[in-house]
Structure 1
């Protein structure tokens, strides 16, 4: 191995004692490839197993915690006990290759396609549609429904424990339900769940508390809990960097095991809310990194990018598109073959790359999403 890349292969131990063999993690990525009944498909299992050998931890694509939280076609389910064998199949495949398995748990809220949820009724914090073209107006959730969804995050966590996962990641990013409660764009409530910044934080914090209580009651061995968030929103009103800093301070106080930043480029700077020319990642790390491990992500295509991201002092780096383009990314760096890393998707290599067809079709029909071989 080239000595300059050795920091990527230092071990890391979470506060609960869960140990990672290196600093490189597979980021959660939707793959649209589960079976129609919500079970994990064989193609998905092969896809994850192919990418689980080099990284120290795999965070799965999101699994929905209630039937009205399904956000994508081909998303696998975690909303009922009948899904435990399916969830276990995926966890076992990841762990058999030497990586820790973390289940990302999720509710899509107003971003759910109406045709995927019962009665076509989408729900959110308030009756405010997304600014995406053609978005439907959601129904505002009632108090009993909010409490039910909070419990559902806990129940899916229990299923993850029973299925053999090493942890869960609460998906509070990318405009989905948890973020919808935190955002001033989607949350116009005037009760205990909205209004002030503190009240908009109530739903995310209630889910964290519920998940932690379920883990304390059910886990027989160390089980980590992470939280993924998007630092800012483009909408006005929308989440600003200043508001996110308040949120992550509150999350750090809960003694979560890690925070995971969701952004397309680890070098991205704040849009608004703080007067700081450093990257969001550096600011976040400076604010809470001494209290809670931060995972950085975004356009880390080669090991030099990864080393640069580590220089922001975050301890862990997540690779997303990079592991789809080259499943052997980590092993190549570890074995001194970093010059052989593929950094552009080869449109003729689906079988070699072990990518399920629905995900492959999304990649090749979405210009600009992945860099392509000419």
Structure 2
């Protein structure tokens, strides 16, 4: 008899075993020091999320270069000193039996800083953003090295998973998309050319992290623009990432041009994840308004996604994972000091 996995079943990914399928999605806080260092906000914020019932918690998009920050209040991992605060977060979460991931990112043309942004082509994201400088091959080599060095620091800080951010209109997504990549050299034109630089980053990160450590990639599988990425493009990219040692594709959408989806509803991005999972035979993460535990559980049970990434749901309810267990009649396993909150009086 076939037994389907549900939201509270474990999942093994390379050398890592997650106790359930609930993930705290990376969420920018814009509260870091201007030096890219974390502060008390992050310690409290991530400390509370480590108590929330997820098996894996991601730290927000973390810049690999100072010029690659989305804003001057973004967390960075481009200096050795930035590891210390992040290590405290990791150590606390591990003490709660929670695994921790970090999302490494470079904002490219969406960097809203005083410095001049870089991008595959000299095309601004919108009128509100600066015109970026088209990257040279030396620039690309420098960014690859920056991802490598940040990945090494993440390993040293104790992280369990690294996710490379290639979605939401940031630098690697900019290279993948014909809307933002209009280069005429070997890094543009065809989908093979557009993939070349992002794939170099992924390969570089995979090469410097332990063999047993899972590597995720977040993608925007639709750009909601008729001239944007197609699902055929995404299948090609996902297959290349899988071949390069990526364990899971975290499937989101949008962000590369100021064009929103026609309609947003709970689970609206799941068909994109499901298609990649089916056609590439790779683990996928589902994201997007999946706060209803019954919906989240049904997505896992129907093999449409392997992990459920919850973002704003955890901001609204820091006990989302435990409340989901109650809703699904699954044993609740809160931190010991919180057990009394889940006991029925006189039971």
TM-score using structure 1 length: 0.79
TM-score using structure 2 length: 0.85
Which of 129, 136, 147 in structure 2 is aligned with 1:135? 129
Question: Quick check: 1:165 aligned with 2:150?
Answer: no
1:281 maps to which residue? 273
Question: In the aligned structure 2, how far is the partner of 1:200 from the partner of 1:105?
Answer: 20
Question: In the aligned structure 2, how far is the partner of 1:281 from the partner of 1:6?
Answer: 17
Q: CA deviation at 1:337?
A: 8.1
What 5-or-longer segments of structure 1 have no aligned partner? 270-277, 339-374
Which of 241, 245, 266 in structure 2 is aligned with 1:255? 245
Which aligned pairs between 1:139-288 and structure 2 lie closer than 5 A?
Answer: 139-215=133-209, 219=210, 222-235=212-225, 237-263=227-253, 267-268=267-268, 279-288=271-280
Q: CA deviation at 1:37?
A: 2.3
Which aligned pairs between 1:86-165 and structure 2 lie closer than 5 A?
Answer: 86-115=85-114, 120-130=115-125, 132-165=126-159
Question: In the aligned structure 2, how far is the partner of 1:149 from the partner of 1:204?
Answer: 10
* 8 A contact 1:258–1:294 mirrored in 2: yes
Q: CA deviation at 1:8?
A: 1.1
CA shift in 2, pair 1:198/1:266, >3 Å: farther
* SS across alignment from 1:8: coil
Q: CA deviation at 1:253?
A: 1.6
* 8 A contact 2:148–2:205 mirrored in 1: yes
* 8 A contact 1:124–1:139 mirrored in 2: yes
Question: Quick check: 1:300 aligned with 2:283?
Answer: no
* 8 A contact 1:167–1:225 mirrored in 2: yes
Question: In the aligned structure 2, how far is the partner of 1:236 from the partner of 1:315?
Answer: 29
Question: Quick check: 1:330 aligned with 2:329?
Answer: no
CA shift in 2, pair 1:37/1:328, >3 Å: same
* 8 A contact 2:273–2:304 mirrored in 1: no
Q: CA deviation at 1:59?
A: 1.4
Q: CA deviation at 1:293?
A: 1.1
* 8 A contact 1:300–1:319 mirrored in 2: yes
Number of aligned residue pairs: 315
Question: In the aligned structure 2, how far is the partner of 1:319 from the partner of 1:167?
Answer: 17
* SS across alignment from 1:186: coil
Question: In the aligned structure 1, how far is the partner of 2:66 from the partner of 2:235?
Answer: 32
Q: CA deviation at 1:242?
A: 2.2
2:49 maps to which residue? 51
What 5-or-longer segments of structure 2 have no aligned partner? 254-263, 330-347
Q: CA deviation at 1:99?
A: 1.1
How well do the aligned residues superpose, as a CA RMSD in angstroms?
A: 2.1
Deviations, residues 230-284 of structure 1 (Å, cap 9, x unaligned): 0011345322222112111211222212110114756337xxxxxxxx9222212
* SS across alignment from 1:32: coil
